[in-house]
Structure 1
Amino acid sequence: MNFESLINLLPYSEPFLFVDELKEVSENGISGTYTFKEEADFYRGHFKDNPVTPGVILTECMAQIGVVCLGIFLLKNEELKNFGVALSNESIDYFLPVLPGEKVTVVSEKVYFRFNKLKCKVHMFNAEEKLVCRGEISGMIKAE
Structure 2
Amino acid sequence: MNKENIIQKLPYTKPFLFVDEIIEIDDIHIKGAYTFLQDEYFYKGHFKDNPITPGVILTECMAQIGMACFGIYLLKGEWNQAKNGIAITSSDMNFYKPVYPTEKVVVIAEKEYFRFNKLKCKVAMYNSEDILVAKGIVSGMTFMKNDE
Letter of the 1:46 counterpart: H
- Counterpart for residue 24 of structure 1: 24
- Counterpart for residue 58 of structure 1: 58
130-139 vs 81-90, greater mean Cα deviation: 81-90
TM-score (norm 1): 0.97
- Counterpart for residue 129 of structure 1: 130
- Counterpart for residue 8 of structure 1: 8
Q: C-alpha distance in 2, partners of 1:34/1:102?
A: 8
Structure 1: which 5+ runs fail to align?
A: none
TM-score (norm 2): 0.94
- Counterpart for residue 98 of structure 1: 99
Letter of the 1:133 counterpart: A
Matches within 5 A, 1:82-97: 82=82, 83-97=84-98
1:41 CA drift (Å): 1.4
Matches within 5 A, 1:108-127: 108-127=109-128
Q: Give SS of 2:63's match.
A: helix
Structure 2: which 5+ runs fail to align?
A: none
Q: Give SS of 1:5's match.
A: helix
Tell me, yes or no, if structure 1 residue 78 matches structure 2 residue 95.
no
Q: Give SS of 2:128's match.
A: coil
Letter of the 1:117 counterpart: K
Query: Relative to 1, partners in 2 of residues 1:71 and 1:143: Cα closer, same or farther, differing over 3 Å?
Result: farther
